[in-house]
Structure 1
Amino acid sequence: MNISLSRLVLASALILPLTSHAQLGLPNLGLNKSSNAPAASGNLEGQQTQIVRSYVGANKEVLVANATMAVALGLKEAAATARATAGALGDGATQGNLADADKVAQDSSNAVAEEMAKSPKLDKAAKAKFSEGLKQLGKGVIKYVAMRTPVQNFSNGLASASPIELPKLQSGSYVVKTFPSGAKNLGSALKSAVDFAKSNDIPVPPDATQAMAAL
């Protein structure tokens, strides 16, 4: 009788953990919920590293493009600021670094747009410089467009991230938040620059044409 009772207790002890696991709806992989959490966090942080690196790469192209076109238009101060900002921007940029760079990029784009609106007459050297900047801008837009899917994937991951993870994902969150308006503004800037080039007998580089088609 005692042996049977011992066997019953042992069987119950073996069944209970399995029942509890099934009730929680977890896969029978020998892992609990908490052991899975670090892997998910690492994945989001890895995605963040990639999209921030891509964002920085695209922004550097845009800043250098703005600087080059600004030189062509005689906007030396705007050109110097944009080029210096591009040089200081690195892969490990924080949310603050990205926001500062975006502001300079937008300010320099506005300065270029305002000068183009005055219909300035450019000499041969200035036209060549503007075309060079347009090529760089096209490359920046192409890099930006390539980020659509990675940014969307990261955005989807943020929706299920835990409160503990979120403070580590601020740079990526910033990219997700600003990406739609950034893409729209960049597309408008590229179109304006291409239109100006066509109106002033400035060669439109293939990179710019390709970027226009990708928008």
Structure 2
Amino acid sequence: MTSKKDLTPSILLAALLALPFAAQAQLPSLKNLPGLGALGSSKGDSGNVTGQNDALVRGYVAANKDVLLANALMAESLGLKDQAATARATAEALTDGATKGNLEDSNKAVSASTEAVAAEIAKSPKLDAQSKATYQSGLAKLAQGLLKYVNLRQPAQSFATGLKEASPMVLPKLQSGAYIVGQLPNGISNVATSVKNASAFAKSNDIPVPPDATQALAAL
């Protein structure tokens, strides 16, 4: 019979994400189970692996909010009013207590707004002074989001390691964090590409590239 320690992080992650929501309600509360401490802490000092999950969710939500608001600003500057409104509304609805489903929805909105902005940029539109200022603000916010994603690498790695020793009974509480672990690499790559493309458009249209953009790309 396979022991818990024989399970690799990837197998645990897959099992966790596949766990039916209905099964969660049948599991008892395990607040005092031994586990991992807060993000960046050594194992077992507080037994709060759910604390790692919650901190990871807060960080990811903050990053997603920045990217969504950035896309809203850039979409607005490019005349994409509907896309801007949708991205802004999604950002405002996203909270620190986001579930895996909430995070999936926000990522869909990030992808849709990013694609809309990229498609419009490809048309090489001409912006007036006010639109340029709005676009620059959006680029700065996008870079801040990228930096937040990058800063989640180590906490996500620590959380993934903790999944190896987490009790199967507490796994339903860790679905959001497990989802983030799986999504973060692609998220960083995609937003980095957006920052590069947005910066290139800014340079070609005499829009100053915010220092945050250069800093974010250097942090990759």
TM-score range, shorter chain: 0.7 to 0.9
Which residue pairs with 1:114 in the alignment?
Answer: 119
Deviations 1:136-168 (A, max 9, x none): 011111111111100000011112222212111
Residue matched to 1:63: 68
| SS, match of residue 38 in structure 1 | coil
Distance in 2, Cα, partners of 1:154 & 1:65: 28
Following superposition, the deviation at residue 207 of structure 1 comes to 1.0
Which of 181, 188, 207 lines up with 1:202 in the alignment? 207
Q: Distance in 2 between matches of 1:173 and 1:212?
A: 26
Structure 1 residue 89 corresponds to structure 2 residue 90: no
Instruction: Count matched residues.
Output: 179
Aligned residue number for residue 24 of structure 1: none
Structure 1 distance, partners of 2:187, 2:48, is: 25
Q: Does 1:52 align with 2:47?
A: no
Q: Tell me, in whole angstroms, the C-alpha distance in 2 between the residues paired with 1:131 and 1:153.
A: 35
Q: CA separation in 2, counterparts of 1:175 and 1:159?
A: 16
Gaps of 5+ in 1: 1-36
CA RMSD of aligned residues (A): 1.1
Question: Can you list the C-alpha shifts for 1:21-71, whole angstroms capped at 9, x where unaligned?
Answer: xxxxxxxxxxxxxxxx71316421000010100000010010000000000
**1:192 — aligned with what?**
197
Of 196, 204, 218, the residue aligned with 1:213 is: 218
Where does the alignment leave 5 or more consecutive residues of structure 2 unmatched? 1-31, 37-46
- AA aligned opposite 2:191: L
- Residues in 2 aligned to 1:185 and 1:160: alpha-carbon distance in whole angstroms: 31
Q: Which has the higher helix share?
A: 1
Contact 2:35–2:165 at 8 Å: present in 1 too?
Answer: no
Identify the residue that residue 143 of structure 1 maps to in structure 2: 148
User: How far did residue 209 of structure 1 move?
Assistant: 1.3
Secondary structure in 1 matching 2:127? coil
